[in-house]
Structure 1
Amino acid sequence: MSVFTEVNISQRTWIHYNDLTARAKSELQQLIDNYGGVNWATTLPSDSGVEGCISGIIKEYAKKEIQSVSTSIPFIHLFILTNTNGVVIHMEGAEPLLHALEQYKVVPGCSFDLHAAGINAISLAMHTGITSVVEGGNHSLEMFSDWTCICQPIRVNGEIIGYLDLSMKEGLEVSFACILLERLVNSLTRDPDEKKEILNKKFETYKLTSREKEVAYAWLHNQSALQISFNMGIAEGTVRNMLKKVYAKTHVGDKGQYFRKFLL
């Protein structure tokens, strides 16, 4: 007898397009029609001039955090980070996939808003305000007809400041992907002081000096060696030497995996 039984472990925190009532779906389609409709075979338009950029703090931290998670996912996938208007700020995925998407104009600056791309996980999350899932033929655009897309609003102090989408091949497990996305979004919105405290604890395990901690923290937050040298009042060469020392100290065993991704 199997010890795994069908039980309701926790309440679902996301909505699937198929969960919508017929009326809700009709209202969404009416909104699309009011915008002029979306052609099934169209490509995404550029909308890079639209305001609504994601918070500078989140944008600064998000790319490396998304990249770190992306390298650990064992199947082909795509992360899409957008601003509050559904305009793409950053995409993270395998290079062949990113190149393939260019022909459909799925690039930073394109829009996933309802009026531009019809029904998709990003536009549904924008409409509902909660984590949303759209699969296969439920998408308005043919290019996404074999995708499963999950999008979660990014909130800071209760206010939505952007959206993060995880897209993958249709048929893969949605529940686990939703949990992964939720954990990632939570890490993006963690208080900066709390992030620094967590990093400092990691630094302690590697026995970094106070100066090495300062350099490592700045480096992990996208500052160049030149920026760090200017801010700390030391030579750029000194910064680079410190980064080499940090890498050497963390390049030991499994613990070094965290910094290897950032310091190489």
Structure 2
Amino acid sequence: MGDIKSNEILFSYKKCLEIGLTKSIVTPLISLEEEELKRKLQENKKLIEVFRKCVNKVRAQLKKRYIFLLVDSEGYLLDVLCNRKIYKDITDLGIKRGTSFKEESCGTNAISLAMKLKQPIYLKPEEHYCDIFKQWYCIATPFHIDNQIVGYLDISIIEHNMADEMMGFIDLLVYKIANEYKREMDLESQEDLEKLTDKQIEIIKKCAKGYTELAISMELGLKPATVKYHKKEIIKKLQVKNFQQAIAKAIRLNLIN
């Protein structure tokens, strides 16, 4: 693992040099526009709530001033938990909701490497590319829900070495957050399913079997336009973006075999 990390750090440095990223940048270069940030925060509202709930339970037990960062699957910062003074300091560095932790934004960092390798990464200050993080000890690890990465948790500390026990601590914290998030999402999804009518359940089952809208309308004695209407209602009630996601959600909740 050490050789893999060392090689990835070198590859990352090379990429930063190739794109002309200056080590002395004072703030990350990429942040979300206000409207896009609002959309991201709304989409991840439940994950942010669970992150705050789980982290606040353990923060008081830690003597050192750790920074907890919640990042989405694309590397954008969703939330920060730390004491007020540190929060002001890192906000002055341009690290706030919507900040990107991709290499092209702020150079080699624990989150960008965790995104590449899809596994926990620990970085010391000297291993970061940009001066912004030259006093930061960071460990970042992905959240897996049903074998899908939904985000990353980073625990950092400035000017103090990372305590050895934090390596195991972050694994336990990620496990708690992931389990709590999955439980909350399953409860919410079950409530969404209960909003579906019997007719809509029949339609989603037949769509999952490959029936066309015309075939469904003939079998259920509905007009094709009515089938279209019900499909739109299903998407709305299940709070998904398209019908493929509606089917996937119904399968995950055992509505469809």
Instruction: Give the shorter-chain TM-score range.
Output: 0.5 to 0.7
In 2, Cα distance between equivalents of 1:91 and 1:45: 18
DSSP 3-state at the match of 1:130: coil
Pick one of 107, 116, 120 that aligns with 2:96: 107
What CA deviation, in whole Å up to 9, does each residue of 1:194-215 have, x standing for no partner?
A: 679xxxxxxxxxxxxxxxxxxx
- Matching residue's letter, 2:12: L
Alignment CA distance shift 1:74-1:82 (3 Å): same
Shift of 1:146: 1.7
* Residue 149 to residue 191, structure 1, CA distance change in 2 (3 Å): closer
Q: Would you say 1:48 and 2:35 are equivalent positions?
A: no
Which aligned pairs between 1:137-176 and structure 2 lie closer than 5 A? 137-176=126-165
Question: What are the residue-to-residue correspondences of 1:57-68 with 2, within 5 Å?
Answer: 57-68=46-57
The answer to whether structure 1 residue 29 and structure 2 residue 13 are counterparts is yes
| Greater share of residues in helix | 2
Letter of the structure 2 residue corresponding to residue 164 of structure 1: L
Structure-1 separation of matches of 2:159 and 2:76: 23
1:74 matches 2:63: yes
2:5 is matched with 20
Describe the shift of the 1:88–1:195 C-alpha distance in structure 2 as closer, same or farther (beyond 3 A).
closer
Matches within 5 A, 1:2-21: 20-21=5-6
Q: Higher Cα Rg: structure 1 or 2?
A: 2
* Contact 2:67–2:155 (Cα < 8 Å) also in 1: yes
CA deviations over 1:166-213 (Å, ceiling 9, x no partner): 0013553443111111111111111568679xxxxxxxxxxxxxxxxx
Task: Judge conservation of contact 2:50–2:180 (CA < 8 Å) in 1.
Answer: no
**Separation (CA, whole Å) in 1 of partners of 2:148 and 2:45:** 15
Tell me the amino acid that sits aligned with residue 120 of structure 1.
Answer: N
- CA drift of 1:29 comes to 2.2
Counterpart contact for 1:55–1:161, Cα < 8 Å: no
What is the identity percentage for the equivalent residue pairs of Structure 1 and Structure 2?
A: 19
Unpaired runs of 5+ in structure 2? 186-257
Output the TM-score relative to the length of structure 2: 0.62
User: Runs of at least 4 residues of structure 1 off by over 3 A?
Assistant: 33-36, 49-57, 191-196
Among residues 23, 32, 39, which one is paired with 2:23 in the alignment? 39
Other structure's SS at 2:152 match: strand
1:180 aligns with 2:165: no
Unaligned runs of at least 5 residues, structure 1: 1-14, 197-264
Cα pair 2:9 2:127 within 8 Å, conserved: no
Q: How many residues align?
A: 180
Aligned-partner residue type, residue 124 of structure 1 = L
